């Protein structure tokens, strides 16, 4: 594929390809023309790094594409960021301007560079794409800050291209595909995969706005062949059989950002005939492991490494962990999709890698003999050490979700003088279901080893989640 990050967008024969962002329904030609005006304006302004208030709108997409065309690094600011988080991102990234509208609460210290709120018909006179070094930074994406102050992750054009091309091969992603999703446009999933992906490949893009079952069904009726979602989205679709049925016409359903509960996987299969493809990645690594379109799709499995990506499991003693599907270890990654470091944090960048160049993901996983990966969770919160055993919280959560009285759950370890950590399960009961603590403990005990049973079950109305649907376990306990 072309070295240019937007290889598909720049192909003249793709100019009539669909681009739909919320209520704006247009074509590649109009997106390219609009982005070219942004690129020309950035060239005149001389900005090297800009912030984008990443709402799911036309101005966000046109602004981001224009900045990447111009070789200007983009810092997406979450649409729902509080004042403290937003100020930290702006100061830490040292952006020179807002590209497009700024948040209403912005203090006005940064200049604002305009982006047209509607598609334009023609690019500026004599405009043509620039040749840009593939090693140049395309994005500075900020981590969620769950383990400290959010860090700016430097993602190069080269890494993004490698990641998207690897997914195109794994998912058989073609120019004929129309991708639909309602994901936020300030993370890897919604922005890098969900916007840059189709523009590199030459396929259609439909950002549906709010990711409701009705919106996904409408996109399916409109010809969408691929759908991206997170478990929260898929759970809501699985609860709406009439809307879910329309997704049976799709070629591929993809879930990421958190583990998809097995009951949701099975329910979607029953309603649509589709088995969801899961995948794994991080801001620092992009997507490194994915279920292939031509591979076996199983609940709780995230697939195999993308081309050029290598993974390994390491035990607490630093020795390799066998790929037997049961033994768990710290997951480490290397390959062309990795980031270039944390902005302005050389010591933290160095500590993120082993002496021999592997990135420490901080996740715990098991790998099966055929290379299929199963993510247990974050080592910091999902690897429990109780009674001398190393236990994955995800395994207990999967067992609990098999009980009809459990709608959602999260398992954590709390300090215990005797056991080291005591296993506690937070459970959201299914609507209309009465379930008791001892019943759930026995349910887990009948499926897993005795030492994996929860010592306590806490019933709650809801679980704390971030904007991508991940449970924030730090808020439990």
Q: In the predicted model, what is the mean pLDDT of residues 314-322?
A: 91
**What is the torsion angle, in degrees rounded to the nearest 10, for the CA atoms of residue 387, residue 390, residue 393 and residue 398?**
-100
Residues 295, 177 within the same domain: no
Structurally, the chain folds into a number of domains equal to: 3
Query: Residue 312: pLDDT band by 50, 70, 90 thresholds?
Result: very high
Q: Measured between alpha carbons, how far is 310 from 136 in angstroms, rounded to an integer?
A: 24
- Per-residue model confidence (pLDDT) at position 399: 86
Dihedral sign, Cα of residue 390, residue 394, residue 400, residue 406: positive
DSSP state of 326: S
Quote the DSSP letter at residue 465: B
Asked if 108 and 201 sit in the same domain, the reply is yes
What is the rounded CA–CA span in Å between residue 25 and residue 202? 17
Question: Could you tell me if residue 158 is inside a domain?
Answer: yes
Return the percentage of the chain with pLDDT > 70, whole number: 97
Averaged pLDDT, 433-439 = 90
Q: Are residues 157 and 284 in the same domain?
A: no
Lowest mean pLDDT among 166-180, 328-342, 388-402: 388-402
Mean pLDDT of 189-210: 96
pLDDT tier at 467, thresholds 50, 70, 90:
low
Query: Which of the two residues, 471 and 348, has the higher pLDDT score?
Result: 348
Same domain membership, residue 109 and residue 79: yes
Q: How many CA atoms does the CB half-sphere of 162 hold within 13 Å?
A: 23
Per the domain annotation, does 214 fall within a domain? no
Residue 145 has pLDDT above 70, yes or no: no
> What is the C-alpha R_g of the chain?
22
- Which among 14, 231, 42, 218 is positioned nearest to 132, based on CA atoms? 42
H helix or E strand, kind and range, residue 63: helix 58-70
| CATH number of 323's domain | 2.30.38.10
Strands 152-156 and 178-181: unpaired
The whole-number pLDDT of residue 211 equals 94
Calculate the CA dihedral of residues 109, 55, 76, 334 and round it to 10 degrees: 170
- Predicted confidence at residue 297, as pLDDT, reads 94
CA distances from 118 to 60, 62, 72, 133 (A): 11, 9, 22, 30
Region of poorest pLDDT, from 9-18, 357-366, 374-383 = 374-383
Question: Is the pTM higher than 0.75?
Answer: yes
Confidence band for 2, pLDDT divided at 50, 70 and 90: low
Q: How far is CA 6 from CA 123, 174, 465, in A?
A: 16, 14, 33
Task: Give the CATH number of the domain where residue 113 resides.
Answer: 3.40.50.12780
Give the mean pLDDT of 414-440.
88
433 and 289 in a common domain: no
- The mean pLDDT value for 454-459 works out to 94
Q: Specify the 3-state DSSP secondary structure of 99.
A: strand
- Of 358, 378, 398, the residue at which a domain comes to its end is 378
**Contact in structure between 144 and 471 (CB atoms under 8 Å):** no
Judge whether residue 242 has pLDDT over 60. Answer: yes
| pLDDT reported for residue 398 | 83
Question: Average pLDDT for residues 202-215, to the nearest whole number?
Answer: 96
Among the residue ranges 150-164, 286-300, 405-419, the one predicted with the least confidence is: 405-419
| Per-residue pLDDT at 287 exceeds 90 | yes
| Mean pLDDT along residues 86-110 | 91
With cut-offs at 50, 70 and 90, classify the pLDDT of residue 148: low
* pLDDT of residue 288 exceeding 60: yes
pLDDT at 1: 53
259: in domain: no
Q: Which of 348, 378, 408 is at the close of a domain? A: 378
Residues 348 and 439 in one domain: no
Give the full edge-to-edge strand order of the sheet including 304-305. 24-27, 18-21, 204-207, 178-181, 226-229, 252-255, 277-282, 286-290, 304-305
Confidence of residue 468 (pLDDT cuts 50, 70, 90): low
Same domain, 352 and 397: no
Residue 342's pLDDT is: 97
Average pLDDT over residues 363-382: 87
Residues 374 and 466 in one domain: no
Q: Which of 209, 235, 265 is the last residue of a domain?
A: 209
Using pLDDT thresholds of 50, 70 and 90, give the confidence band for residue 219.
Answer: very high
Tokens of 287: 């997507």
Surface-to-core class of residue 461, CB atoms within 10 Å of its CB (0-12 exposed, 13-18 middle, 19+ buried)? exposed
Output the CA–CA distances (angstroms, integers) from residue 149 to 84, 88, 314, 386, 475, in the order listed: 11, 9, 27, 29, 17
The answer to whether residues 332 and 461 belong to one domain is no
Higher-scoring residue by pLDDT: 143, 1: 143
In a domain, 455, yes or no: yes
Q: What is the mean pLDDT of residues 417-441?
A: 89
Identify the CATH number of the domain in which residue 408 sits: 3.30.300.30
Work out the average pLDDT over 414-429.
87
CA distance 102 to 79: 10
CB atoms within 10 A of CB 23: 8
> CA-to-CA distance for 67 and 74, rounded, in angstroms?
7
Residue 75's pLDDT is 98
The residue whose two tokens read 């058989």 is 172
The more confident residue out of 467 and 185 is 185
**Backbone phi and psi for residue 57, each to the nearest 5 degrees, phi listed first:** -135, 170
Burial of 318 (0-12, 13-18, 19+ CB in 10 A): exposed
- C-alpha 90/C-alpha 123 separation (Å) is 30
Residues of the chain with pLDDT > 90: what percent?
71
Give the CA angle between residues 275, 278, 282 to the nearest 5°: 170
In a domain, 431, yes or no: yes
Asked if residues 355 and 380 have their Cβ atoms less than 8 Å apart, the reply is no
What is residue 388's predicted lDDT score, i.e. its pLDDT? 66
Residue 280 pLDDT > 60: yes
Q: Is the pLDDT of residue 469 over 80?
A: no
- The mean of the pLDDT values for the chain is 92
What pLDDT band is residue 258 in, cutting at 50, 70 and 90?
confident
In a domain, 253, yes or no: no
**Both 443 and 408 in a single domain?**
yes
Model confidence at 82, in pLDDT bands (50, 70, 90)? confident
What was the pLDDT predicted at 273?
96
- 374 and 387 housed in the same domain: no
Instruction: Tell me if 240 is assigned to some domain.
Output: no
pLDDT of 24 = 96
pLDDT above 60: residue 137? yes
Nearest to 155 by CA among 163, 146, 147, 145: 163
* Partners of residue 21 on adjacent β-strands: 24, 207
Domain enclosing residue 354, as ranges: 279-378
In a domain, 22, yes or no: yes
Q: Does 130 share its domain with 111?
A: yes
Per-residue confidence (pLDDT) for residue 133, from 0 to 100: 92
Q: CA of 406: how far to CAs of 166, 176, 202, in Å?
A: 37, 40, 42
């Amino acid at each position: 594929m072309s070295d240019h990050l937007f290889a598909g967008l720049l192909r003249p024969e793709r100019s009539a390809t669909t681009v739909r962002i919320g209520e704006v329904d247009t074509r590649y030609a109009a997106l390219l023309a609009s982005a070219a005006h942004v690129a020309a304006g950035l060239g005149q302004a001389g900005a090297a790094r800009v912030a984008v208030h990443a709402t799911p709108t036309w101005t966000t997409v046109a602004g981001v594409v224009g900045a990447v065309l111009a070789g200007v690094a983009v810092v997406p600011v979450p649409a729902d960021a509080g004042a403290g988080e937003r100020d930290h991102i702006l100061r830490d990234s040292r952006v020179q301007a807002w590209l497009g509208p700024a948040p209403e609460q912005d203090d006005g210290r940064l200049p604002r560079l305009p982006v047209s709120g509607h598609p334009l018909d023609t690019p500026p006179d004599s405009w043509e794409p620039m040749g840009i070094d593939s090693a140049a930074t395309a994005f500075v994406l900020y981590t969620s800050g769950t383990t400290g102050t959010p860090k700016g992750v430097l993602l190069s054009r080269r890494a993004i291209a490698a990641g998207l091309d690897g997914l195109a091969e794994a998912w058989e992603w073609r120019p004929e595909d129309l991708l639909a999703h309602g994901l936020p446009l300030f993370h890897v999933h919604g922005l890098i995969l969900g916007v840059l992906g189709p523009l590199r490949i030459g396929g259609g893009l439909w950002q549906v706005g709010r990711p409701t079952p009705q919106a996904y069904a409408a996109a399916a009726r409109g010809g969408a062949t691929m759908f991206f979602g997170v478990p929260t989205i898929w759970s809501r679709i699985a609860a709406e059989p009439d809307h879910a049925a329309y997704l049976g016409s799709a070629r591929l359903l993809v879930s990421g950002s958190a583990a998809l509960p097995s009951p949701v996987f099975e329910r979607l299969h029953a309603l649509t005939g589709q088995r969801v493809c899961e995948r794994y990645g991080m801001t620092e690594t992009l997507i490194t492991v994915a279920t292939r379109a031509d591979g076996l799709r199983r609940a709780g499995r995230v697939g195999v490494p993308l081309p050029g990506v290598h993974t390994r499991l390491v035990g607490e003693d630093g020795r390799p962990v066998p790929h037997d599907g049961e033994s768990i270890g710290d997951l480490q990654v290397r390959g062309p999709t990795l980031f270039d470091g944390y902005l302005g944090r050389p010591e933290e960048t160095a500590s993120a890698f082993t002496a021999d160049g592997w990135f420490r993901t901080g996740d715990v996983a098991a790998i099966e003999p055929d290379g299929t990966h199963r993510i247990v969770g974050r080592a910091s919160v999902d690897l429990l050490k109780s009674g001398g055993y190393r236990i994955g919280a995800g395994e207990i959560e999967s067992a609990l979700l098999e009980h009809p009285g459990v709608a959602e759950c999260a398992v954590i370890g709390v300090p215990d003088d005797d056991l080291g950590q005591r296993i506690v399960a937070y459970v959201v009961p299914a609507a209309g279901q009465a379930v008791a603590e001892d019943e759930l403990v026995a349910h887990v005990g009948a499926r897993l080893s005795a030492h994996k049973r929860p010592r306590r079950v806490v019933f709650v109305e809801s679980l704390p989640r971030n904007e991508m649907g991940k449970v924030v376990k730090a808020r439990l306990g």
